[in-house]
Amino acid sequence: MSSASLGRRLVACLLNVSEARRKDLVETVAKAALYNTEGVRREGTTVLNIFNDHDYNRSVITIVASIDSIREAVLSACEKACGLIDMQAHKGVHPCMGAVDLIPIYPLGEEVGVQDCAAEAQAVALGLTERVRGTSAFLFGWADSPLQRGLAQRRKEMGWFKKTPDLQAIRSDVGPQPQRRFGLTGVGASPYVMNCNVTIDTQDMSLGRSIAAAIRESAPGGLAGVQVLALPHEGAVEIACNVESVKGSASSHQTAGEPWPCFSIGSQPYCHAPASLITARVAELAGRQGVAVKGTALVGFTPRECRGLAELALSQGISEFWKEQRRIHM
């Protein structure tokens, strides 16, 4: 990593908001991370990507800043989102519980520690509930002290996977009982998590669910770090994967002799299943039933790409990088 980025102590927040059909609204939320209420740009902060999914009615905004600056950027975006998104009117096929559904903070290099990210996530959860009265949050990963329960476990405990979650049955970790307008927000910190979605050319949800069950981490022969949902999507079925980074060196996780991509946090090596492997596994399982893969979408970037693009954007002073990335070649 360059000496400039070492000074920045970069972290990423892949902010998930429950709106995608009003793209101007989502851009307004992204810009709130970049500019204060007077329109003055926040130094050292960039939005690398905005991913909108119409069917899911969900967007992912990739915000990068130093660990010292990320809180204000994220809270400003959340405050704007909560003012514009009403969960009582929300419709989409992707599970969600909050107007701001997820606030994960990921370190982008050795120089940012686990405890730094945990403390920052806890401060974001508290700040959200103080700045937007009526919001509530649960904690996951490093921020969930001392248990450090993972996101999938916490979502299950909160009823996130249910078609209609019972907000009255939920006890939030921060803030009041969840309210219908704002819902419930997950806030946490962990090693980088990618989102890799593979679409298969069928409307057979039972096949999609069987493929999801076969590749998720908990299955015999499943892929380490992979959490999966099968969802109807644009007349087909999408195998939607959260790809968590897992402890271990590249040599300890490899497929067909190819090591998985790796990085380090505080001298601890991590690696993650490559999108090519997930696509190949889905294609193999679907192909047994005569079903083809239509395509693969990576929501945002790999950890290495995220760090590299952030360094590029910040070195060139590009805040609204999502508008520029098509013309910039790495």
Summarised one tens digit per residue, pLDDT across range 43-86 is 999 999 999 999 999 999 999 999 999 999 999 999 999 999 99
Q: In the predicted model, is pLDDT for residue 255 greater than 90? A: no
What is the average per-residue pLDDT within 99-117?
95
Q: What digits encode the pLDDT tens for the residues 142-164?
A: 999 999 999 999 999 999 999 88
Q: How many other C-beta atoms can be found within 10 angstroms of the C-beta atom of residue 250?
A: 15
Q: CB-based contacts of 215: which residues, under 8 Å, 6+ apart?
A: 222, 223, 226, 228, 239, 241, 278, 281, 282, 285
Give the Cα separation of 275 and 248 in Å (integer): 18
Sign of CA dihedral 227, 231, 236, 237: positive
Residue 240's pLDDT band, with cuts at 50, 70 and 90, is: very high
* pTM assigned to the model: 0.94
Percent share of the chain, pLDDT over 90: 88
Q: In the predicted model, is pLDDT for residue 330 greater than 60? A: no
What is the average per-residue pLDDT within 288-311?
94
Q: In the predicted model, is pLDDT for residue 6 greater than 70? A: no
DSSP per residue over 98-151, as a string?
A: BSEEEEEEEE-STTS-HHHHHHHHHHHHHHHHHHSTT--EEEEETTSTTT---H
3-class state of residue 43 by DSSP: coil
Residue 293's pLDDT band, with cuts at 50, 70 and 90, is: very high
Amino acid identity at 284: E
Give the Cα separation of 174 and 128 in Å (integer): 9
Give the chain's domains with CATH numbers. Answer: 3-191+303-324 (3.30.990.10), 193-299 (3.30.70.670)
